[in-house]
Amino acid sequence: MSEINRAHNFNAGPSILPLPVLEQAQKELIDFKGTGMSVMEISHRSKEFEAVLSEAEQDLRTLMGIPANYKVLFLQGGATLQFAMIPMNLRPAGASADYIVTGSWSKSAYKEAQKLGSTRSSFSAEVDNFNRLPAQEELKLDSQAAYLYFTSNETIHGVEFKNEPVAPDNVPLFVDTSSDFISRPIDVSKYGLIYAGAQKNAGPAGVVVTIIREDLLERVPANLPAMLDYKVQVAGGSMHNTPPCFAIYMVGLVFKWALNLGGLPEIQRRNEAKAGVVYKAIDESGGFYKGHARPESRSKMNITFRLPNEDLENSFASEAKKQNMIGLKGHRSVGGLRASVYNALPLESAQALVDFMKEFQRKHG
């Protein structure tokens, strides 16, 4: 067999998918389960697609340990549409919602919620250029809030909560886990709502997974546009309209891949090993590489760091690219470099980056 050319893919999203998943999709592309059609060509009402959807849901339930009183939805509009759907559906008229602002994504969600009603910031790390997360005591929490919202991993700034913040009694906790979804075990029962755009850890762009505790559906007001109404989406089993069939098929394959590896504890072990070698290289560089996030707030998914000047940062990204290491330039709003080391990235890629970092420092340090 010829050697497969796969990049060391550090893209922030869309990003690397597991090779066995791509190979299976390739194998099934022309003839899915004897239908003589691909998943993109069959009816979403066919028994074959219904099986794809229900297996994806069941496998995710097993993987995350989702209790029976939670609904699982596969939606469209990206994570960004959830910024609006959450307050539209779950913040009753006249009520206020609390947001913990720890980076670009929670700030965007906060701003979207502000357009639609009363919204409070419980904390903001913007003065520190979003390089740290709050301690529980720093949160200014409203005990009457409709919900407390946070982003478990800020993809651009590279800060990630190790433990979820604690909401006041009777205030449900909502989380955007787009960039650390299924990267480690979490206790779903602590949350009212969990959502994630698929295109980092779970599959291609085009589908968002939203997990919602069913009692919260009672809050959904009448007469929302159907596509924006969680109750309509639940009633339609994520098929109120034609769903993104191929993206759902792909996330289903990723869930099976994760289960086969040993589930979220094993995925977490691998992620810690990968992030561990890269942070070690930063910490042992004598200040040549400087992490953006404070050590206690560091993300295991998006490692953000700087070099002594921008010229060196540009050469780092371009020289790395010549060695097949892709996607290392930081987001334009923060600058510097960012290595996204999602679930599907092999340890060898993280190690290749570390070797490159050492060599680059030897040449330019």
Ligand X SMILES: Cc1ncc(COP(=O)(O)O)c(C=O)c1O
d(CA 274, CA 267): 11
Count of residues interacting with ligand X (CB under 6 A):
11
Tell which one of 66, 79, 250, 353 touches ligand X (CB under 6 A).
Answer: 79
197 lies in the binding site for ligand X (CB under 6 A): yes
Residue 254 vs residues 56, 202, 266, 272: alpha-carbon distances, Å? 9, 6, 14, 19
**Both tokens of residue 344?**
């599907």
Nearest residue (beta carbon) to ligand X: 78
Query: Interface with ligand X includes 334 (CB under 6 A)?
Result: no
Query: According to the binding rule CB under 6 A, does residue 112 interact with ligand X?
Result: no
Judged by CB under 6 A, does residue 293 bind ligand X? no
**Which one of the listed residues 59, 71, 98, 105 is annotated catalytic?**
105
- Distance of alpha carbon 140 from the chain centroid: 26
Q: How many CB atoms lie within 10 A of CB 180?
A: 27
Stretch that binds ligand X, among 3-11, 53-61, 87-95, 176-184 (CB under 6 A): 176-184
Looking at beta carbons only, is 340 or 349 nearer to ligand X? Answer: 340
Per DSSP, helices labelled H in the chain are 19-28, 47-64, 78-90, 104-116, 230-235, 245-261, 264-283, 310-322, 347-364
Sole window of 48-56, 174-182, 227-235, 346-354 interacting with ligand X (rule: CB under 6 A): 174-182
Kindly state whether residue 210 participates in binding ligand X, applying the rule CB under 6 A.
no
DSSP classification of residue 190: G
Nearest to 204 by CA among 61, 58, 16, 7: 16
Binding segment toward ligand X, per CB under 6 A, in 22-30, 73-81, 245-253, 283-291: 73-81
Minimum distance of ligand X from residue 179's CB (angstroms): 4
**Minimum separation from the CB atom of position 222 to ligand X (A):** 27
Distance of alpha carbon 47 from alpha carbon 101, whole angstroms:
43
Q: Check binding of 155 to ligand X (CB under 6 A).
A: yes
- Does 353 engage in binding with ligand X (CB under 6 A)? no
176 binds ligand X (CB under 6 A): yes
Annotated catalytic residue 257: no
SS (H, E, C) 153-173: EECCCCEECCCCCCCCCCCCE
At 11, list the tokens. 């893209």
78 belongs to the binding site for ligand X (CB under 6 A): yes
Residue with tokens 């604690």: 166
Does 179 interact with ligand X (rule: CB under 6 A)?
A: yes
Min CB(16)–ligand X separation in Å: 15
Interacting residue with ligand X among 80, 121, 124, 268 (CB under 6 A): 80
Binding test (CB under 6 A) with ligand X, winner from 9, 89, 131, 178:
178
Contact 303, 339 (CB under 8 A): yes
Give least dist CB 104 to ligand X, A. 8
Strands 208-213 and 70-75, sheet pairing: antiparallel
Q: Which of 200, 256, 274, 329 is catalytic?
A: 200
| Given the residues 59, 71, 107, 176, the one annotated as active site | 176
Residue 160 binds ligand X (CB under 6 A): no
Structure-derived torsion over alpha carbons of residues 315, 328, 280, 285, reported in degrees to the nearest 10: 10
Q: Supply the minimum distance, in Å, between the C-beta of residue 155 and ligand X.
A: 3
Report if residue 105 touches ligand X, rule: CB under 6 A. yes
Q: How many residues does the chain have?
A: 365
Residue 75: name the closest of 240, 269, 193 by CA.
Answer: 240
Residue ranges in contact with ligand X by CB under 6 A: 13, 78-80, 105, 151, 155, 176, 178-179, 197
Catalytically active residues, by annotation: 105, 176, 200
